C-alpha cells in the first residue's frame, strides 16, 4: 500500500512539474486553489467568511486526509468556544455552498468520511493547488543547482518564486497549528530565494541581483546566506567598498540583535572583498551552495 501511495504521489508531482515547467500561465489556469497570497478559488472568488477560509485552508493543507470535528476545533482555536463543534458543522455546510457558487459541483470535492476515519476531506491533485506546485518546483530548481546547471536552475526557480503572490496566512486564526504552517511555508519560500540567488551568481547574472537580495534581507534579516550572497554580488560586480559596507551592516546586526560574532562565511567574503578577488567570491558562493 505504501508503494502504491508513493507511486501515486510521484505521478502527481511529475504532472505538477511538467505543467509549470512547460507554461507557468497554463499552470495557473489549472490551479483550483491558491493560498500563497490572497486566497483564490478558480482564479477569482474566495469563501466570504474568514472562518470558512480557514477551514478550506486546513482541508487543503491536509488534502485527501480526513479531519475530524475535534481536530478542526484544535486547528481553529487555541481556546475553543463551547459552540465550536456546531460552528464547524455550520461553516462546512456554508463552505460547500460557497464553492458551488464559485463553480457548480465544486462542493463535491469536500467529502464526508464515515467509519473509523470519520471527518471531512478535500480531494485535490498536486497540480490543482499552489502549495504542492511550489514545493515540487522548488525541489526541481534545487536539483538543477546541485547538478551544476545554474542557468536552468535560475529559469526554474524564477517560476517557483512567482507562485507567491503575497504572504501566506495573514488572515488565518493565530493558532499554533496555523502558525507552524505559516512559519514552515515562509521558510521554504526563503530557501527558494536563496537557491535562486545562488544560481544567479553562479550563472554570472548579477547585474540587478543586489536589489532583490536587499528586499529579501528586509523580510528575513537574520538569514545568514542572504548576507553572504549580497556581499559576494558586490564583490563580483567590482564594488569592494559596497561589499565591505554590507559585511559591516551584517556584523552590527548580528552583534546588536543576537549577540553573535560575524558568521564565518561572511568573514570569508570580507577577505575576498579586501583582496578585490572576484573569482574567490564566486568560488565561495559555489562552495556554500546547498548540499544534496
pLDDT band at residue 20 under the 50/70/90 scheme: low
The pLDDT tens digits of the residues spanning 106-126 come to 999 999 998 777 899 999 999
| The model's pTM | 0.89
Domain regions of the chain by residue span: 31-127, 206-292
pLDDT band at residue 5 under the 50/70/90 scheme: very low
CA angle 10, 37, 104 (to 5 degrees): 75
Provide CATH code, domain 31-127.
Answer: 1.10.10.10
Q: On the CB side of 5, how many CA atoms lie within 13 Å of its CA?
A: 4
Q: What is the mean pLDDT of residues 182-202?
A: 97
The predicted pLDDT at position 1 comes to: 39
The pLDDT tens digits of the residues spanning 202-226 come to 999 998 999 999 999 999 999 999 9
Pairwise CA distance, residues 52 & 88, whole Å:
9
The predicted pLDDT at position 118 comes to: 83
The predicted pLDDT at position 288 comes to: 73
Q: List for the chain the helix, strand, coil content (%; round to 5).
A: 70, 5, 25
Query: Range with the lowest mean pLDDT among 17-21, 83-87, 92-96, 108-112?
Result: 17-21
Q: What is the CA radius of gyration of the chain?
A: 22
The predicted pLDDT at position 171 comes to: 87
pLDDT band at residue 62 under the 50/70/90 scheme: very high
Among 3.90.440.10, 1.10.3720.10, 1.25.40.10, 1.10.1670.10, name the CATH number for the domain at 206-292: 1.25.40.10
Query: Do the domains spanning 31-127 and 206-292 agree at the CATH topology level?
Result: no
pLDDT of 6 over the 50 cut = no
pLDDT of 98 over the 90 cut = yes
Please give the residue that has the higher pLDDT: either 24 or 48. 48
Backbone angles phi, psi at 180, to 5 degrees: -65, -40
DSSP β-bridge partners for residue 121: 111
Distance of CA 252 to the CA centre of its chain: 29
The predicted pLDDT at position 44 comes to: 73
pLDDT of 29 over the 50 cut = yes
Amino acid at each position: 500500500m505504501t508503494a502504491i501511495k508513493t507511486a501515486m504521489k510521484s505521478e502527481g508531482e511529475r504532472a505538477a512539474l511538467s505543467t509549470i515547467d512547460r507554461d507557468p500561465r497554463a499552470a495557473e489556469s489549472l490551479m483550483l486553489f491558491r493560498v500563497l497570497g490572497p486566497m483564490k478559488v478558480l482564479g477569482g472568488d474566495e469563501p466570504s467568511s474568514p472562518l470558512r477560509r480557514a477551514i478550506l485552508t486546513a482541508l487543503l493543507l491536509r488534502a485527501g486526509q480526513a479531519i475530524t470535528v475535534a481536530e478542526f476545533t484544535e486547528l481553529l482555536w487555541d481556546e475553543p468556544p463551547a459552540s465550536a463543534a456546531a460552528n464547524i458543522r455550520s461553516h462546512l455546510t456554508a463552505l460547500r455552498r460557497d464553492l458551488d457558487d464559485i463553480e457548480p459541483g465544486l462542493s463535491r470535492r469536500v467529502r464526508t468520511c464515515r467509519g473509523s476515519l470519520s471527518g471531512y476531506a478535500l480531494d485535490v491533485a498536486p497540480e490543482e493547488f499552489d502549495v504542492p506546485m511550489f514545493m515540487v518546483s522548488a525541489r526541481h530548481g534545487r536539483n538543477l543547482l546541485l547538478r551544476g546547471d545554474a542557468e536552468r536552475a535560475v529559469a526554474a526557480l524564477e517560476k517557483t518564486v512567482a507562485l507567491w503572490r503575497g504572504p501566506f496566512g495573514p488572515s488565518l486564526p493565530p493558532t499554533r497549528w496555523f502558525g507552524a504552517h505559516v512559519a514552515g511555508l515562509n521558510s521554504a519560500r526563503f530557501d527558494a530565494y536563496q537557491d535562486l540567488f545562488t544560481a544567479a551568481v553562479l550563472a554570472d547574472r548579477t547585474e540587478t541581483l543586489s536589489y532583490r537580495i536587499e528586499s529579501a534581507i528586509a523580510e528575513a534579516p537574520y538569514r545568514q546566506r542572504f548576507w553572504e550572497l549580497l556581499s559576494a554580488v558586490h564583490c563580483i560586480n567590482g564594488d569592494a567598498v559596497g561589499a565591505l559596507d554590507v559585511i559591516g551592516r551584517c556584523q552590527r546586526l548580528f552583534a546588536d540583535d543576537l549577540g553573535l560574532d560575524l558568521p564565518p562565511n561572511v568573514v570569508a567574503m570580507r577577505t575576498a572583498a579586501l583582496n578585490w578577488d572576484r573569482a574567490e567570491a564566486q568560488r565561495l558562493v559555489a562552495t556554500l551552495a546547498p548540499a544534496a
